[in-house]
Amino acid sequence: MNDRHASGDRQVILGADGAVHVEAVPADPAGGPGDVLLAPVHLGICGSDVHVLRRSHPFVSPPVVTGHECVARVLATGPDVTSCAVGDLVVVNPLISCGTCDRCRAGAANQCASAKVLGFGLPGLARDRVVVAGRFCHRVPPGVPARTAVLTEPLAVGWHAAGRAPRPGRTLIIGGGPVGLAVLLALRTRGGAGHITLVEPVPAKRALAAAFGADEVVAPGELPSGLQVDTAFDCVAVAGTLATAATATVPGGTLVVVGVPAGDTSLPLARLQRWEIDVRGTGLYTDEDIAAVLEHLPSGPDAPDSRDGGDRLPDVTRLITAAYPVERAADAFAATGDPDQIKVLIDWPDPAAPDA
């Protein structure tokens, strides 16, 4: 792969000083035969990125090149790459798994003990040009806009979580941020959920939850007394929400822990034991989840959808509440502090766009 440029690139660093820096880097690195050179087009900022910046992430501290929710244009491919071709739009699976351990070979690369995630344990995707192994790139179906595809990673978190409770029935979702809304979207698209109640403090997020198919959307403290569900997804995962979820789950039901607990926390174990309530974890996603989300993403308004039937997700771009060009990456991170923001993007000019 020899698409090397004399000109410098920029990358977005979450600095050790607590600030976001856009800094010049000498040149894009060369890739190997299985690698792809990408130009990011949109990058989503995740709550976990903000935790790294604020030094409240349990495992990662700055400085780190950020970026794991990315849709990118393929600029060059090594000779061994089969997943995509020059000019394609791709999303990247940022979970860099070993590919050879028994968990990876069982199709559960999210359980790979040696996996690292781009933007956390490895430098992220927030640079003008970035090299990634082709096996982590997924082609975006033709007609699906980049602004839709950039949501694949957070939607895959919800898709995987929904898959942890294959027969959800009556459902409670605690938390209506990007993850809770992604769980809701996955449940509605995959089917199997009955009446869905979602709890969320921010009115704008409650409105979106209603638009995305929740039957009942309430503020914390307004849960119907005696609510009983077959499945509860706790996307907050603090002691109080876990207790609420466990109390609401029927005997024989399932409690899925989706949120990232700040540390070890307590569960109402006596109730879980007596009533045979299953507690299940869910962590990240697999290539299969990413492929399923891509398959269900809606096409753009001016691209007739030629893909085979099946339920499409609704207009998920409603999750995007702000976007900033890469040179204003610091403003993009600052914007995430506003509770009304759901997904904030960092944008690059698309090299394939006619005016770029």
Q: Is 104 in the site for Zn ion (CB under 5 A)?
A: yes
Q: Is 125 in the site for Zn ion (CB under 5 A)?
A: no
Among 39, 92, 112, 132, binds Zn ion (CB under 5 A): 112
Question: In the block, which residue shows the tokens 């096996």?
Answer: 135
Peptide bond into 63 cis (omega under 30): yes
What is the C-alpha to C-alpha distance for residues 8 and 95, in angstroms, rounded to an integer? 27
Q: Give me the 80-99 binding string for Zn ion, x by CB under 5 A, dash otherwise.
A: -----------------xx-
Q: Is 152 in the site for Zn ion (CB under 5 A)?
A: no
Q: Is 25 in the site for Zn ion (CB under 5 A)?
A: no
Q: Is 286 in the site for Zn ion (CB under 5 A)?
A: no
Which is nearer to Zn ion, 217 or 345 (by Cβ)?
345
Return the bridge partners of 43, or none: 70, 346
What is the C-alpha to C-alpha distance for residues 157 and 338, in angstroms, rounded to an integer? 23
Give, as ranges, the residues between 26 and 85 that touch Zn ion (CB under 5 A).
Answer: 46, 69
| Dihedral class, residue 307 (left if φ above 0, else alpha if ψ from -120 to 50, else beta) | beta
Using CA atoms, how far residue 8 sits from 24, 38, 153, in Å, is: 6, 15, 28
> Smallest gap, in angstroms, from Cβ of residue 176 to Zn ion?
16
> Smallest gap, in angstroms, from Cβ of residue 305 to Zn ion?
27
> Smallest gap, in angstroms, from Cβ of residue 157 to Zn ion?
7
Number of residues assigned to the chain: 356
Give, as ranges, the residues between 158 and 197 that touch Zn ion (CB under 5 A).
Answer: none
Return the bridge partners of 193, or none: 169
Q: How many CB atoms lie within 10 A of CB 264?
A: 5
Do residues 319 and 205 touch, judged by C-beta distance below 8 A?
Answer: no
Q: Which stretch binds Zn ion (CB under 5 A): 108-116, 138-146, 335-343, 346-354?
A: 108-116
Which is nearer to Zn ion, 126 or 229 (by Cβ)?
126
**Residues in contact with Zn ion by the rule CB under 5 A:** 46, 69, 97-98, 101, 104, 112
